[in-house]
Structure 1
Amino acid sequence: MIDRTPVTEGFMALLAELTGFPVEQRTVPIDPATGKPVPPPYTILDPLDFITDDNTLADRHAAAIDTYQATFVSGPDPTVPDSRGGGQQSQLLADRGRRVIERPINGAPGYKHPLNVGDGVGCYRREAREAGGTSDANDAIITSVIRYRLFLAEEPA
């Protein structure tokens, strides 16, 4: 059976590495030094569906499809009074987040950026789909949203 926790932790680490900004699950990231929310930009990752049924009579739950929604949040520049988040900043974060599905340029199999999803489990397919965002300048933030599906399987011993 595939546990979701290591997949979520590995995916959060990969998004943080690719975007260069903090990622937190279901909430605004907290600065460990101050205990307060970090200012944007950052990413909020919401786990959605986790399907383990492969529709076979002898299903061992050795495969899963894990779905996430990543909200890439822009925000005001703290060094500029009355600044607002912008579409360009949130789109830049989303562009970096889409690198999750980037393939090697030399045609090698797999993905360019490794995803650690736990011992004995591999991610053999990844999908990313733009799902919208917000654009209300009165909020002082602008977001872009991507939904990901990760196709997982236990690796043979």
Structure 2
Amino acid sequence: MTGKPVGRRTVPINPATGQPYPPPYTILDPLDRVSDDRTLADRHTTAVCDYQATFVSGPTPGTPDSRGGDEQAQWMTDRAWKLIERRTDGAPGYQHPLAIPGVHCDRREAREAGGTSDGSDGIITSVIRFRFFLEETGA
């Protein structure tokens, strides 16, 4: 969604160089996963999955004494909110579908969970926690 590199549980690595990408980037951490949707008809074909996305702003490579900025971190956070954006034509569903073979995402939730509070830090972060309600489609 942001167009910037994403690392799963770690700083993203550039496959061409084997080195970490410089900021800005996103770190995606899987959190909780529950297989019971707490409905009477639960067939255990559902899952509720939580993920945390940490959007990292940082110094400009090659520029001494540069720092990450809140504007950059907030720009990435604003782009990520599009993940839960509803369709604009009034039809059910989401503007940006999740392509997971054999799985339908019934509902999505998100909440901002904080970030770096000190603007003088060299790296600025912003955090969103996403929750996805998934169900097997059998396809």
User: Does TM, scored on the shorter chain, surpass 0.5?
Assistant: yes
Query: Following the alignment from structure 2 to structure 1, what is the Cα–Cα distance between the partners of residues 44 and 68?
Result: 43
Candidates 149, 154, 157, aligned match of 2:131: 149
1:80-118 alpha-carbon deviations (Å, 9 max, x no partner)? 33110011100100000110001121112111111112x
Query: Following the alignment from structure 2 to structure 1, what is the Cα–Cα distance between the partners of residues 41 and 110?
Result: 30
3-state DSSP of counterpart to 2:30: strand
Bigger share in strand: 2
1:54 alignment partner AA = D
Q: When the two structures are aligned, how many residues end up with a matched partner?
A: 139
3-state DSSP of counterpart to 1:24: strand
3-state DSSP of counterpart to 2:107: strand
Please tell me the root mean square deviation across aligned C-alpha atoms, in Å.
1.8
**Structure 2 vs 1, CA of residues 146 and 56 (structure 1 numbering), >3 Å: closer, same or farther?**
closer
TM-score by length of 1: 0.81
**Structure 1 gap ranges (5+):** 1-17
Matched residue, 1:70 = 53
Alignment pair present for 1:25 and 2:8: yes
**Structure 2 vs 1, CA of residues 37 and 113 (structure 1 numbering), >3 Å: closer, same or farther?**
same
Matched residue, 1:12 = none
CA contact (8 A) 1:22 1:42 kept: yes
Bigger share in helix: 1
**Structure 2 gap ranges (5+):** none
TM-score by length of 2: 0.91
